[in-house]
């Protein structure tokens, strides 16, 4: 893909550890997030780089990663141990497992142990702008996100959003398309629903709640459309 080279010290980079939970919100499953992120990096839609934690004198501290790097490696959030702060550890593993023979038993073929090479000593980063195009505005944030700012209607107590009503609106937004327009993604509808709330001077739910409302609307719409084919 033709993209302008991104400076390695740009503020446009975000650690994969920060990005992964946001993609989980969009996919609803950490393993799906592992696959979607790895695929996007492997096909060049998301630019990546890495930094060495303890570089030697003859090694660069920062280096860009070609898309082909992610055809040999993948991210994995299933590691059982947790990092400091209780967060699930996100590892970069070699895709194909290594095979190592175990002790041979007399008269039997040797057993093989399968294990994955884990890349350690690096911090991996992705381009915020690339991620924003795929997973929506929330994926561009690298900090803990406070709830979205509400739009006050009048002075005094702010209006409380109606979750059921917003689910209905999200359902309608999925259906509201121009002729020839492709199916909307959940990220598209989440963005439109946020804008709708602001335009109507309704209280805007936090990002997690907003994405959950859109996800429910998407699932209900999917079941509804399937019932029409019976």
Helical spans, DSSP H, in 99-206: 128-135, 163-175, 186-199
- Quickly tell me which residue has 């070609």 as its tokens: 66
Q: Are 38 and 130 part of one and the same domain? A: yes
| Token digits of residue 135 | 């997973």
Q: What is the pLDDT of residue 74?
A: 92
Residues 216 and 167: beta-carbon distance below 8 Å: yes
Residues 136 and 209 in one domain: no
Give the mean pLDDT of the chain.
Answer: 78
Residue 64 lies in a domain: yes
Q: What pLDDT does residue 77 have?
A: 87
Both 181 and 127 in one domain: the answer is: no
Based on the fold, state whether residues 130 and 75 are members of the same structural domain. Answer: yes
Q: Would you state the structure tokens that stand for residue 31, as one six-digit string? A: 């393993």
Same domain, 72 and 118: yes
62 has pLDDT over 90: yes
Is residue 172 left, alpha or beta, with left meaning phi > 0 and alpha meaning psi from -120 to 50? alpha
Taking residue 194's Cβ as centre, other Cβ atoms within 10 Å add up to 19
The answer to the question of residue 8 being in a domain is no
Residue 154 lies in a domain: no
Q: Which of 125, 140, 155 is the last residue of a domain?
A: 140
Which value, in Å, is the radius of gyration of the alpha carbons in the chain?
Answer: 22
Q: Are residues 133 and 26 in the same domain?
A: yes
Within-domain flag for 155: no
Q: Are residues 130 and 184 in the same domain?
A: no
C-alpha–C-alpha distance, residues 167 and 210, integer Å: 9
**In-domain check, residue 204:** yes
**Is there a single domain that holds both residue 121 and residue 199?**
no
What is the predicted pLDDT for the residue at 154?
A: 46
Residue 56 and residue 134 in one domain = yes
Average pLDDT over residues 74-87: 66
What six digits make up the tokens of 100? 């190592």
**pTM for this predicted structure:** 0.54
Coil vs helix vs strand at 118: strand
**If you count DSSP H runs as helices and E runs as strands, how many of each does the chain have, helices first?**
7, 8
Answer for the pair 7, 21: CB distance below 8 angstroms, yes or no.
no
Task: Write down the pLDDT at residue 28.
Answer: 84
Q: Where are the alpha helices (DSSP H) in 43-162?
A: 69-72, 128-135
Chain segment 106-138, per-residue pLDDT in tens: 555 555 555 667 888 899 999 998 988 888 755
Number of domains in the chain: 2
Check: CB of residue 167 under 8 Å from CB of residue 211.
no
Same domain, 127 and 176: no
Which residue's structure tokens are 């803990």?
144
Q: Is residue 192 part of a domain?
A: yes
| Interval 3-44: pLDDT, tens | 668 888 888 999 998 888 888 888 888 889 899 999 999 999
Placement of tokens 């004198």 in the chain: 57
Same domain for 189 and 116 = no
**Does 227 or 68 have the greater pLDDT score?**
68
Its domain, for residue 188, covers 163-228
Residues 40 and 118 in one domain: yes
């Amino acid at each position: 893909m033709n993209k302008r080279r991104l400076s390695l010290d740009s503020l446009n980079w975000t650690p994969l550890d920060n990005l992964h939970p946001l993609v989980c919100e969009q996919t609803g499953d950490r393993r799906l997030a592992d696959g979607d992120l790895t695929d996007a990096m492997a096909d060049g839609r998301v630019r990546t780089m890495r930094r060495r934690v303890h570089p030697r004198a003859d090694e660069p501290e920062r280096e860009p990663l070609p898309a082909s790097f992610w055809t040999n490696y993948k991210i994995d959030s299933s590691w059982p141990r947790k990092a400091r702060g209780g967060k699930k550890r996100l590892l970069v593993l070699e895709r194909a497992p290594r095979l190592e023979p175990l002790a041979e038993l007399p008269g039997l073929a040797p057993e093989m142990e399968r294990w994955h090479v884990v890349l350690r000593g690096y911090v991996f980063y992705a381009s915020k702008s690339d991620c924003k195009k795929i997973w929506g505005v929330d994926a561009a944030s690298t900090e803990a996100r406070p709830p979205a700012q509400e739009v006050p209607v009048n002075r005094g107590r702010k209006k409380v959003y109606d979750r059921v009503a917003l689910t209905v609106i999200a359902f309608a937004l999925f259906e509201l398309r121009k002729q020839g327009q492709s199916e909307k993604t959940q990220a598209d509808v989440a963005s439109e629903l946020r804008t709708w709330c602001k335009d109507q001077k309704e209280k805007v739910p936090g990002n997690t709640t907003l994405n959950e409302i859109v996800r429910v609307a998407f699932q209900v719409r999917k079941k509804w459309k399937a019932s029409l084919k019976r």
